[in-house]
């Protein structure tokens, strides 16, 4: 019997999950899907989807009438906890997926997650829940394969690689003048806008360091980052015997299939990929001085408590403001820093406190900072 999937999000990653379901009909079937504004007609027809969640009330009525299926407004958690579902895939962007991730793990589901923000903001809580959480982020999938059942004491370091985004090598470029259009052109990965901007600021890599800390139980001192422009080395495991890289083509289909098939071996392969000649060249001591968001966000991760939740909320609104040309790329880490300067830390927050903190940073604190650029030392609009 194919395993029934609830797919949350149908952007760049969600579409690749659909591609895997299409390629492996014996193994997987698309039972339900959640989006915000995306049109779902074609996918409902093609895959015989039974339940959907949408963010537009007009779509609820229309889809129900045209397809006679169950359509609800913003019901991510209902889809994710449905008793018919075997696998929940969280391919949402931003922090909207936290509650559904929590609920599906509480319902003991297998959850394949690419959405970083829930783990960054609430990793300690999510890792303690009864379901099975499998990250299909390529660096995390590589780390999982490299570490397997190793003792943490035997690991000297797990090094996560980073493409560097579009501007790492362009040393003479004034990053405050970079437009959203330039920042959206990532050198190796085709991704949604939020993660593409996070890659340009290297904040995405800081989020992955925090993810790895939670997923693998590694202390921050055992986590590091290296620049690898080709994105074919995804992580490197350092032990007393030397460095072991995890090498695979730069395709999200590979880690996604590993997540879907787990604990079975993945049946998906990319046989025709040709590795570039110089594809193992690494820069092991990256210069992140032009990208202060990286160190800042790793430091906030180390602090733990409520700080990462405020950071996630502040980053979310700052990225949207940059995309609307209201602030500069270089203003994004400043918005995060100023936001964190205005909040009270709290150790061991519960899920509710984390959700409140993310939303408060997003909708009030950081938003206010963006609205008063001069007062808070931002360059501000283009």
Ligand X SMILES: NC(=O)c1ccc[n+]([C@@H]2O[C@H](COP(=O)([O-])OP(=O)(O)OC[C@H]3O[C@@H](n4cnc5c(N)ncnc54)[C@H](OP(=O)(O)O)[C@@H]3O)[C@@H](O)[C@H]2O)c1
- The answer to whether the CB of 6 falls within 8 A of the CB of 82 is yes
Beta strands in 149-284 (DSSP E): 157-162, 223-227, 233-239, 242-247
Using CB positions, name the residue nearest to ligand X: 11
Cβ-based nearer residue to ligand X, 96 or 343: 96
CB of 220 to ligand X, least distance (A): 21
Q: Using the structure block, give the residue that is written with the tokens 């499998």.
A: 134
Nearest to 138 by CA among 42, 228, 264: 228
Cβ-based nearer residue to ligand X, 54 or 369: 54
The residues, any chain, with a CB within 8 Å of residue 207's CB and separated by 6 or more, are 116, 117, 120, 198, 297
Q: For the chain, how are helix, strand and coil distributed in percent, rounded to 5?
A: 45, 15, 40
Cβ-based nearer residue to ligand X, 10 or 225: 10
Quote the tokens at residue 258: 């590993």
CB of 274 to ligand X, least distance (A): 20
**CB atoms closer than 10 angstroms to residue 299:** 14
CB of 191 to ligand X, least distance (A): 3
Cβ-based nearer residue to ligand X, 249 or 380: 249
Burial class (CB in 10 A: 0-12, 13-18, 19+), 67: middle
The interaxial angle of helices 307-323 and 351-360, nearest 10 deg, is: 30
Binding site for ligand X (CB under 6 A): 9-14, 34-38, 55, 91-94, 96, 114-116, 137, 189, 191-192, 194-195, 252
Q: Which residues pair with 233 in a beta bridge?
A: 247
Cβ-based nearer residue to ligand X, 93 or 339: 93
Q: Which residues pair with 120 in a beta bridge?
A: none
CB of 60 to ligand X, least distance (A): 13
The strand order across the sheet containing 242-247 reads 223-227, 157-162, 233-239, 242-247
Cβ-based nearer residue to ligand X, 258 or 373: 258
CB of 350 to ligand X, least distance (A): 22
CB of 375 to ligand X, least distance (A): 31
Beta strands in 114-151 (DSSP E): 132-135
**CB atoms closer than 10 angstroms to residue 266:** 18
Rounded CA-CA distance 129/136 in Å is 18
CB of 347 to ligand X, least distance (A): 26
CB of 206 to ligand X, least distance (A): 12
Nearest to 90 by CA among 55, 54, 57, 135: 135
Cβ-based nearer residue to ligand X, 155 or 203: 203
Cβ-based nearer residue to ligand X, 33 or 155: 33
Cβ-based nearer residue to ligand X, 11 or 349: 11
Quote the tokens at residue 132: 């099975």
CB of 187 to ligand X, least distance (A): 13
């Amino acid at each position: 019997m194919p395993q029934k999937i609830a797919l949350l999000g149908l952007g760049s990653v969600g579409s690749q999950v659909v591609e895997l379901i299409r390629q492996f009909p014996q193994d997987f079937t698309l039972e339900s899907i959640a989006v915000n504004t995306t049109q779902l007609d074609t996918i409902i027809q093609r895959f015989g989807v039974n339940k959907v969640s949408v963010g537009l009330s007009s779509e609820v009525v229309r889809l129900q009438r045209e397809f006679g299926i169950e359509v609800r407004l913003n019901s991510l958690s209902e889809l994710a906890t449905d008793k018919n579902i075997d696998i929940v895939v969280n391919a949402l962007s931003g922090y909207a997926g936290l509650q559904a991730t929590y609920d599906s793990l509480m319902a003991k589901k297998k959850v394949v997650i690419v959405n970083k923000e829930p783990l960054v903001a609430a990793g300690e809580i999510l890792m303690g829940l009864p379901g099975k959480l499998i990250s299909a982020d390529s660096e995390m999938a590589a780390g999982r394969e490299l570490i397997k059942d190793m003792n943490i004491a035997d690991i000297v370091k797990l090094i996560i690689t980073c493409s560097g985004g579009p501007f790492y090598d362009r040393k003479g470029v004034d990053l405050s003048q970079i437009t959203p259009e330039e920042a959206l052109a990532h050198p190796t990965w085709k991704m949604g806008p939020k993660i593409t901007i996070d890659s340009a600021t290297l904040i995405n890599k800081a989020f992955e360091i925090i993810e790895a800390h939670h997923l693998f139980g590694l202390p921050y001192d055992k986590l590091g980052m290296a620049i690898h422009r080709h994105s074919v080395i995804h992580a490197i495991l350092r032990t007393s015997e030397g460095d072991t890289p995890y090498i695979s083509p730069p395709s999200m289909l590979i880690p996604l299939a590993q997540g879907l098939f787990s604990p079975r071996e993945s049946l998906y392969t990319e046989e025709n990929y040709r590795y570039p000649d110089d594809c193992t060249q690494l820069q092991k001591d990256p210069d992140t001085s032009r990208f202060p968001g990286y160190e800042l966000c790793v430091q906030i991760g180390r602090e733990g408590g409520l700080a990462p939740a405020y950071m996630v909320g502040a980053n979310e609104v700052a990225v949207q403001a940059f995309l609307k040309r209201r602030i500069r790329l270089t203003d994004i880490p400043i918005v995060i820093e100023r936001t964190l300067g205005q909040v009270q830390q709290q150790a061991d927050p519960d899920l509710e406190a984390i959700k409140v903190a993310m939303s408060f940073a997003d909708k009030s604190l950081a938003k206010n900072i963006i609205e008063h650029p001069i007062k808070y030392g931002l360059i501000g609009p283009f």
